[in-house]
A and B are shown apart, each in its own frame.
Chain A
Amino acid sequence: MVIVQPNSQIKLTNVSIVRYRKGGKRFEIACYKNKVMEWRSGVEKDLGEVMQIDNVFLNVSKGQAANKDDLMKCFKTEDRNAIILEILKKGELQVGEKERASMLEGMYRDIATTVAEKCVNPETKRPYTVTMIEKAMADLHLSVNPSRSAKSQALDVIKQLLEKKTIPIARAQMRVRIVVPSKDGKRIKDKLMTMIASKEDEDLDENYEWTCLIDPGQFRPINELLQAETKGKGQLEMLSLTETKQGDEVF
């Protein structure tokens, strides 16, 4: 039995372990906290800032280093650096406190920005500022889910905001132009009209043409309808993604 004395002991603090399973064995490396994500995103380029100990372990907390045979067997190389890089890239990691915080904050902002881009104040037809949306989101007690994409969460937020009515909000509508040959046009007109929000312009001669505002969710259904009914002769053309008032308005 080895007598463990304080001076021969290495206490690992400030450590974050990255684990990687390969060839039926589990390998670990000892990294600094809050650093692995940065390494992965390419922000941190100095490996020394990421790795605590330049070695591959089987178990970091026990100080059990992986032996050469195991490494050779699993990674088919002896170059420890290459192995470390692979583990860093593919291993599962503990997300640090600060990393998580900054990730969530970024996500939160991203959601708010997306919502702000997609919505308008229906009274003024102007977008809300991101900070306003953030305040409204705080009202919703929204918790960010880091594994879902910001966009899908933003769509959720919009739904909740619409329900809760803390602020008057509406999806910014798309302006599109629909062009259909007249014989098809007559047939699908009624169906189309139920799908659009408001009609701005109508031109019914050889081809039926409508300029209208639609809810963004309706874009695909309308497109599919057109494709199905007119055999590609109908056109759906997007004029603007979000219909908002432009320019400054002086009171």
Chain B
Amino acid sequence: MPSIPEAELIRLQANQAHVRNICILAHVDHGKTTLSDSLLASNGIISSKLAGKVRFLDSRADEQERGITMESSAISLYFKIRRRAAAASIAAAANKANAAAAAAVAAGGVVTDQSNDTTTTAITSTTASSTEDSAANSGASTPAESVAEEYLINLIDSPGHVDFSGEVSTASRLCDGALVLVDAVEGVCTQTHTVLRQAWKESVRPVLVINKIDRLITELQFTPLEAYIHLNKILEQVNAVMGTFFSENVLEEDYRKKAEKKKEQGTTESTTGLEDTFSDWHVETQDDSHIYFHPSQGNVIFASAIDGWAFRVDQFAAIYAQKLGMKEGVLRKCLWGDFYLDPKTKRVIGYKGLKGRALKPLAIHLVLDNVWKVYDIVVVNPDKEMTEKVVKSLNLKVLPRDLRSKDTRAVLTTIFSQWLPLSTCVLLAVVEQLPSPAAAQKIRMPKMLHPFETTAPEPTEDWEKGMIACDPSSGVVAYVSKMVSVPLDVLPKNKRKTLSAEEMRERGRAQREHLVAAAKSAEMGEVGVHLDVDEVLANRELKEAEDKAAAEELEGKEALIGFSRIYSGTVRVGQKLKVLGPKYDPAYPTQHCSEVTVDSLFMIMGRDLIGLDQVPAGNVFGIGGLEGHVLKYGTLWSAEWEGGQNLVGKGLETAPIVRVALEPEDPSQMAQLVRGLQLLNQADPSVQVLTQETGEHVILTSGEVHLQRCMADLRERFARIEISMSEPIVPFRETAIDAPAQIVTSSAMAVNEAQGRDQVAKLISKSETGARGTIVATTPNRHVRFVVRTVPIPEDIKKYLSDNAEQIQAYVEDNGGIAKNNSGVAVLTGEVETGEKAKAQKKLLEELTPLFAKAGEEWKGREKDILAFGPRRVGPNLLINQLGFDFSRNRNSNNTDTVEEGHGGITVQDMAESILTGFQIATNGGPLCGEPMLGMAFFLQEIEILDNSQEAGGSGGEGRSKMAVSSGQVITSMRDACRLGFLEWSPRLMLAMYSCDIQTTAEVLGKVYAVIARRKGKILHEEMKEGTPFFSIQALLPVVESFGFSDDIRKRTSGAASPQLIFSHFEVLDMDPFWVPNTVEELEDLGEKADRDNVAKKYMDVVRKRKGLFVEQKIVEHAEKQRTLRKN
């Protein structure tokens, strides 16, 4: 078939009734791309010989290499049928077929009466021949006068791998119909569920394609009967899935109704059990037959995309109707199912009429047997003579050269492509079964606009009407589902201007020839690689012809094209449109809304783009000029219209869960990486990129395969630099609890850390008399001495502090006022300006007072003495003034009444600043592994300026300079004192936790539990989801253990469970990192080292190692077992 001129396609876009937007959905490796290949071949885009091998729509190098689709891609197809004429021609053709069949019988040498020719297989083939005859006739020899109908089919091929389910949801959002493929051997798989659900949610009408039937014949060697039973099972499975969706919906609706009713009852007090029973009845009576697949309804296609054939039972029905003298409609209904042909009466009978006779169902008899026969003679037991006979009887025009080919598969393909051409069958089904945009939008739009209402309100606004009617003359409403990054040199405007459409096609052909040549020379498996090489070569040649400079300029540059669907109106180049961002809210029409001019419009033809001037409603197209306006998805809206409705965010989005940190190999290329990440973020809707507080660049992807694709994209297209990947840094918190501390607490490490500097002087040490956690510290110059007591904050207060963190932060940051006037004044009592601040202060104080009162004697009333929060002045740790006097330096009184004037004019109040700073530093990096503390309180109990310092304060000036030194030393002393005090208690690490939602089926529940348990997760609860076979599990999982978790769980459960991880909180790991086995039992169980079992220590050591802190780890475990050989 010659390739279709673009002008045709453009013309067709305008005719809505003849436009179909479909996508191909299926589990991974069920043959989506292969199927689309065959459809492309019918349009002459690729050679029909190569259909199923090139995987044309897998345009990425890595897609070809791995053999899986990663990005959905679109292409527009042209399809021409003679609908009205077809009926007539079938009748006419059938007549001819009879004659032909007679001839075939004679040729076959089977002497049987034609009236009862349906009993032997030999003759079946002849009957088949007649069938095919008419099919071929109706397909090929159409009377010229019949009315030809032309269709434009916008096809989107979507990936099947779990990781790319985001792509699937965008694809289904754009389409009105879907081809759902199921592998005939594998049956319904997990992704089949997902895509069916997706289609259901988006109210996209599906057509089932049972693919790879050839495998039943050649691999499994099923007989037609076995195959029939098998296929029926698959149908049942699929229908069962559809049934659950339906029941789910019905139940949900029912619940809602009941809830509403209850609400009403609450007000009116009129209750009857009767109504409930009625609603139950209602469930039963809702008709669900329309959602199921059945061959007789024409929404099931049997196919083998690799061999290029497909059929629906109607095709056969049309043929046999004539032959068996039955009405076509009747035959179509009984051609699949428990219907048999009584050989004597020539009537179709049901199972009851069988009366024990071993008859084959009609489906086998008339349909499957024939297909099996062809396979048998061509592939399984090659028989040249029979093949020729069959070909002849089928009235196919096969070149003898092709027939004689040694490659039986090629012969098979040739025969089938004429007998049961895949593209015709599939496209016909698409045209017949799937709705046109206008029809589909009538159903889909109300659902999209009012997702929570069962019955949509009548459209009132212009735009609503426009969308529902799919009206090209209305204003523009379009949805951009993703931004595709394409190399600039692909854009039509960047192709040479002189290139006419004809020439472009010529060029395309040349390229395709290259492909063909490459594919032929290469082995099947290696096609992808070779193709690429050739492609590159071809491209290079072409480029040489072009202006080199221009080419260089364009090379490697990427442009972003919006992948969109227009619901209403007509977009034109140069038109001004409003862009509504994903966060757009009709209530605030000015936010997240910007205006753009349409730069260019494209028809997307796989990897090529064709420039357009305008696109009318109901089409899928590419749009340029949105760069910078649409990040990932958005809504386009006519500029004339006020307001707007956000079409985004109503899809089923899967949150990305695999987290990795990225860094350039060469540190100087940071800027490129950031730029690349920005591009990636725009080009892939299901990836999230963020810069963390730690300075890490983290990307979140929806799976490992997705991650690999993103990395390939970054390395080769967006950033073009070497990038290294690592586990992201996991945050911890340090806290202590009131439990017996390990004796080793102040073990090697702690001592090293806290006292390293002052080891000799013992300047900072435990107080002999004070309560637990009391530390007495003296600065190294023996000038200042203070006492600090560390106490874990009681649970209630801790909770309050973390719950109200934002409030406190707002208060503290807002309220520079306190510290402004006086450092060292209590945060919550200082004089504040009136208004908001005072209110906030009062509120905090009031709420804290009862909590402090409850916490015990030492806490009571202390809320007024809080000097500071920490770290960063806002955290969940407290510094509390227990001095008994005002610690603030009252600057306003200009030192006239300070407490101690004697020490060279230095007062303890002068030290307040340093104490605070020391506290902030200590809480920002605790003694365990330098992570922030959480929930610790430090009571400042005593502070004094010592007189007996070596150089007793002389003049004021000297004292001043000494104070500068002291204040520095107070900072470090305070820091170390806080840390040491912390270790007096039983220290604990706090782990960041993910809350984890998992949906899974009952079968793999155990495996899910196993994975969670192995990763030290905790199950919170599980429950059965009503109306579905799913369980939903809620669990907590430590972030440290989460790397690779989603992949693990998917592998273990074969993809049946996929988790969602959201950071929830920090949780204490109840294990002292310094714990070692002490008791006899523990020693017996764990041995002396026990480092295997002390998880807390393990975590702590990892962090310390990363930070280059001292790790208590032996370099050599067994001194004696070192290598004793000399070096040379």
Task: Give A109-142 interface residues, CB cut-off 8 Å to B.
Answer: 109-113, 116, 120-121, 123-124, 126-132, 135-136, 139
Chain B: residues with Cβ within 8 Å of the partner, total of 72
Do A111 and B748 have beta carbons less than 8 Å apart? no
Which of A2-10, A77-85, A239-247 is near enough to bind chain B? A239-247
State in angstroms the CA–CA spacing of A246 and B913 once bound together: 23
Residues 78-111 of A, flagged 1 when their CB comes within 8 A of B and 0 if not, give 0000000000000000001011001001111111
Contact for A113 among B693, B906, B1107, CB less than 8 A: B1107
Do B667 and A167 have beta carbons less than 8 Å apart? yes
State in angstroms the CA–CA spacing of A120 and B691 once bound together: 14
Q: Which of A106, A112, A251 has the most CB atoms of chain B within a 10 A radius of its CB?
A: A251
Nearest CB in chain B to that of A119: its residue: B695
Q: Does A204 contact B (CB under 8 A)?
A: no
Q: Which residues of B contact A237 (CB under 8 A)?
A: 819, 823, 913
Known: A98-B1115, A109-B1107, A232-B905. A131 touches B913 (CB 8 A): no
Residues 869-903 of B, flagged 1 when their CB comes within 8 A of A and 0 if not, give 00011000000000000000101001100000000
State in angstroms the CA–CA spacing of A150 and B1122 once bound together: 30
Which of B30-38, B74-82, B529-537, B954-962 is near enough to bind chain A? B954-962
Known: A33-B1116, A34-B1115, A136-B667. A233 touches B963 (CB 8 A): no
Known: A98-B1116, A249-B690. A109 touches B670 (CB 8 A): no
State in angstroms the CA–CA spacing of A223 and B913 once bound together: 13
Q: How far is the CB of A127 from chain B (nearest CB, A)?
A: 4
Task: Give B915-940 interface residues, CB cut-off 8 Å to A.
Answer: 917, 920-921
Residues 202-245 of A, flagged 1 when their CB comes within 8 A of B and 0 if not, give 00000101010000000010011001100111011111110011
Q: Does B399 contact A (CB under 8 A)?
A: no
Q: Which residues of B contact A245 (CB under 8 A)?
A: 693
Q: Does A70 contact B (CB under 8 A)?
A: no
Q: Does B1113 contact A (CB under 8 A)?
A: yes
Q: Which residues of B contact A238 (CB under 8 A)?
A: 913, 917
Chain A: residues with Cβ within 8 Å of the partner, total of 75
State in angstroms the CA–CA spacing of A34 and B1113 once bound together: 12
State in angstroms the CA–CA spacing of A113 and B929 once bound together: 13
Q: How far is the CB of B550 from chain A (nearest CB, A)?
A: 32
State in angstroms the CA–CA spacing of A41 and B1111 once bound together: 10
Q: Which residues of A contact B691 (CB under 8 A)?
A: 124, 126, 248-249, 251
Residues 175-201 of A, flagged 1 when their CB comes within 8 A of B and 0 if not, give 001010100000000000000000000
Q: Does A250 contact B (CB under 8 A)?
A: yes
Do A248 and B693 have beta carbons less than 8 Å apart? yes
Q: Which of B681, B729, B820, B956 has the most CB atoms of chain A within a 10 A radius of its CB?
A: B820
Nearest CB in chain A to that of B1109: its residue: A110
Do B1122 and A14 have beta carbons less than 8 Å apart? yes
Do A251 and B678 have beta carbons less than 8 Å apart? yes
Nearest CB in chain A to that of B682: its residue: A251
Q: Does A1 contact B (CB under 8 A)?
A: no
Do A177 and B729 have beta carbons less than 8 Å apart? no
Q: Which residues of B contact A239 (CB under 8 A)?
A: 873
Q: Does B694 contact A (CB under 8 A)?
A: yes
Contact for A166 among B668, B726, B905, B1120, CB less than 8 A: B668
Known: A35-B1119, A102-B1115, A249-B691. A130 touches B751 (CB 8 A): no
Contact for B1113 among A43, A111, A132, CB less than 8 A: A43
Known: A41-B748, A224-B961, A237-B819. A128 touches B695 (CB 8 A): yes
Q: Which residues of A contact B1113 (CB under 8 A)?
A: 43
Residues 524-554 of B, flagged 1 when their CB comes within 8 A of A and 0 if not, give 0000000000000000000000000000000
Residues 1098-1128 of B, flagged 1 when their CB comes within 8 A of A and 0 if not, give 0000000111111111111011101111100
Q: Does A44 contact B (CB under 8 A)?
A: yes
Do A250 and B1115 have beta carbons less than 8 Å apart? no
Known: A99-B1115, A129-B694, A248-B691. A233 touches B895 (CB 8 A): yes
Known: A129-B694, A132-B667. A106 touches B677 (CB 8 A): no
Contact for A248 among B678, B692, B920, CB less than 8 A: B692
Contact for A42 among B748, B905, B920, B960, CB less than 8 A: B748
Q: Which residues of A contact B960 (CB under 8 A)?
A: 227-228, 231-232
Do B1116 and A35 have beta carbons less than 8 Å apart? yes
Q: Does B910 contact A (CB under 8 A)?
A: yes
Do B1107 and A110 have beta carbons less than 8 Å apart? yes
Q: Does A67 contact B (CB under 8 A)?
A: no
State in angstroms the CA–CA spacing of A41 and B1112 once bound together: 9
Q: Which residues of A contact B689 (CB under 8 A)?
A: 250-251
Q: Does A50 contact B (CB under 8 A)?
A: yes
State in angstroms the CA–CA spacing of A136 and B1116 once bound together: 31
Known: A44-B1114, A121-B695, A177-B820. A129 touches B748 (CB 8 A): no
Do A112 and B1108 have beta carbons less than 8 Å apart? yes
Task: Give B143-199 interface residues, CB cut-off 8 Å to A.
Answer: none
Q: Which residues of B contact A49 (CB under 8 A)?
A: 1118-1120
Q: Does A75 contact B (CB under 8 A)?
A: no
Do A129 and B670 have beta carbons less than 8 Å apart? no
Do B1120 and A14 have beta carbons less than 8 Å apart? yes
Q: Which residues of B contact A50 (CB under 8 A)?
A: 1119
Q: Which residues of A contact B906 (CB under 8 A)?
A: 232
Do B1106 and A109 have beta carbons less than 8 Å apart? yes
Do A251 and B891 have beta carbons less than 8 Å apart? no
Do B1112 and A32 have beta carbons less than 8 Å apart? no
Do B693 and A247 have beta carbons less than 8 Å apart? yes
Q: Does A38 contact B (CB under 8 A)?
A: yes
Q: Which residues of B contact A143 (CB under 8 A)?
A: none
Known: A228-B960, A232-B910, A250-B688. A14 touches B1124 (CB 8 A): yes
State in angstroms the CA–CA spacing of A49 and B891 once bound together: 62
Q: Does B585 contact A (CB under 8 A)?
A: no
Nearest CB in chain B to that of A209: its residue: B820
Q: How far is the CB of A205 from chain B (nearest CB, A)?
A: 12
Known: A35-B1119, A111-B1108, A232-B910. A227 touches B961 (CB 8 A): yes
Q: Which residues of A contact B661 (CB under 8 A)?
A: 129
Do B668 and A167 have beta carbons less than 8 Å apart? yes
State in angstroms the CA–CA spacing of A126 and B1112 once bound together: 32
Known: A220-B964, A235-B913. A110 touches B1108 (CB 8 A): yes
State in angstroms the CA–CA spacing of A139 and B1124 once bound together: 36
Q: Does A13 contact B (CB under 8 A)?
A: yes
State in angstroms the CA–CA spacing of A29 and B820 once bound together: 62
Q: Does B223 contact A (CB under 8 A)?
A: no
Q: Which of A43, A150, A220, A249 has the most CB atoms of chain B within a 10 A radius of its CB?
A: A43
State in angstroms the CA–CA spacing of A126 and B670 once bound together: 13
Q: How far is the CB of B769 from chain A (nearest CB, A)?
A: 28
Do B894 and A32 have beta carbons less than 8 Å apart? no
Q: Which of B681, B695, B873, B1114 has the most CB atoms of chain A within a 10 A radius of its CB?
A: B695
Task: Give B667-714 interface residues, CB cut-off 8 Å to A.
Answer: 667-668, 670-671, 677-678, 681, 688-696
Q: Does B663 contact A (CB under 8 A)?
A: yes
State in angstroms the CA–CA spacing of A198 and B891 once bound together: 26
Do B913 and A126 have beta carbons less than 8 Å apart? no
Q: Which residues of B contact A32 (CB under 8 A)?
A: 1116, 1119-1120, 1122
Do B693 and A132 have beta carbons less than 8 Å apart? no
Q: Does B265 contact A (CB under 8 A)?
A: no
* Extra pairs beyond A246-B693, A248-B693 (13, CB < 8 Å): A14-B1123, A33-B1122, A37-B1115, A41-B752, A49-B1118, A49-B1120, A139-B667, A179-B891, A224-B961, A232-B905, A235-B823, A237-B823, A244-B693
7 A-B contacts, Cβ less than 8 Å apart? A96-B1115, A99-B1115, A120-B695, A132-B667, A241-B920, A248-B690, A251-B688
Binding site for A on B (CB under 8 A): 661, 663, 665-668, 670-671, 677-678, 681, 688-696, 726, 729, 747-749, 751-752, 816, 819-820, 823, 872-873, 889, 891, 894-895, 905-906, 910, 913, 917, 920-921, 956-957, 960-961, 963-964, 967-968, 1105-1116, 1118-1120, 1122-1126
- For the complex of A and B, the 8 pairs showing the least CB-CB separation, nearest first, are A109-B1108, A42-B748, A110-B1108, A32-B1119, A13-B1124, A127-B695, A227-B960, A251-B689
